[in-house]
């Protein structure tokens, strides 16, 4: 697949929306996460729409809500907008509490049978889980102060995600499911 000017425009929008953001509790530019998710999507044979959605998967959630989602729809079409919306756990500027927000995301994800949404979702959650594990190995239990959830809640969330992806294994790349499972297992092992 060749990437077109649409992908370049999505890169520019992603940079415009997220260039001043950092990963939680770090000095790492947030765009590194968006690029990592996009790389995972691209190397798994995805379409340009999926790659654009990967670049913008946090844009509505973290940079403008419904207004940003409307902008994405206008610039990149219904398909990209739909994927981004399903990969967002809220479109509200003042995010609801962590637990109900994650429960709602899980409930929504369980109803999804669209491989495009699932590939972007699992690529996102896999990179997040790997980042948590890496940071835990560096800073130890201080890591958990970065989150508005406990370590037990975070493990519960990733186990729940894994269970949903496993139930949809015919729609998700199996190597990503296996990689997520290994990452969660290693994180749980390190916490014992």
For 82-93, what is each residue's pLDDT tens digit? 999 999 998 888
Going by CATH, does the domain composed of 5-191 fall within 1.10.3210.10? yes
Q: Tens digits of per-residue pLDDT, 18-74?
A: 999 898 888 899 999 999 999 999 999 899 999 999 999 999 998 989 999 999 999
Put residue 77 in one of left, alpha, beta given phi > 0 → left and psi -120 to 50 → alpha.
left
Evaluate if residue 181 carries a pLDDT over 90.
yes
Is 43 within 8 Å of 54 (Cβ atoms)?
no
Closest by CA to 7, choosing from 44, 35, 32, is 35
Q: Tens digits of per-residue pLDDT, 56-65?
A: 999 999 898 9
Paired strand residues for 22: 29
Rounded CA separation 30/129 (Å): 15
Evaluate if residue 191 carries a pLDDT over 80.
no
Question: What Rg, from alpha-carbon coordinates, does the chain have?
Answer: 16
* pLDDT the model gives residue 130: 96
Is 33 within 8 Å of 56 (Cβ atoms)?
no
Is 102 within 8 Å of 157 (Cβ atoms)?
yes
Q: What is the pTM of this model?
A: 0.94
Q: Which two tokens stand for residue 112?
A: 């999804």
Domain ranges of the chain: 5-191
* pLDDT the model gives residue 192: 63
DSSP letter assigned to residue 95: P
Is 110 within 8 Å of 166 (Cβ atoms)?
no
* pLDDT the model gives residue 125: 98
* pLDDT the model gives residue 26: 83
Q: Tens digits of per-residue pLDDT, 100-153?
A: 999 999 999 999 999 999 999 999 999 999 999 999 998 888 888 888 899 999
Residue in the block written with tokens 């398909």: 79
* pLDDT the model gives residue 144: 87
CB atoms within 10 A of CB 20: 10
* pLDDT the model gives residue 145: 87
CA dihedral 18, 116, 42, 54 (to 10 degrees): 0
């Amino acid at each position: 697949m060749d990437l077109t000017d649409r992908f370049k425009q999505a890169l520019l929008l992603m940079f415009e929306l997220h260039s001043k953001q950092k990963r939680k509790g770090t000095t790492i530019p947030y765009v590194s996460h968006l690029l990592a998710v996009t790389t995972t999507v691209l190397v798994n044979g995805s379409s340009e729409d999926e790659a654009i959605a990967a670049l913008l998967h946090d844009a509505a959630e973290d940079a403008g809500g419904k207004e940003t989602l409307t902008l994405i729809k206008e610039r990149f079409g219904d398909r990209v907008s739909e994927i981004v919306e399903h990969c967002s756990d809220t479109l509200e500027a003042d995010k609801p509490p962590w637990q109900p927000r994650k429960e709602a995301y899980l409930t929504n994800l369980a109803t999804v049978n669209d491989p495009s949404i699932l590939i972007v979702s699992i690529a996102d959650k896999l990179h997040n889980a790997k980042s948590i594990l890496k940071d835990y190995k560096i800073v130890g239990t201080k890591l958990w102060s970065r989150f508005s959830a406990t370590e037990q809640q975070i493990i519960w969330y990733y186990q729940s995600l894994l269970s949903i992806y496993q139930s949809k294994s015919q729609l998700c790349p199996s190597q990503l499911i296996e990689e997520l499972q290994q990452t969660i297992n290693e994180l749980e092992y390190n916490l014992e």
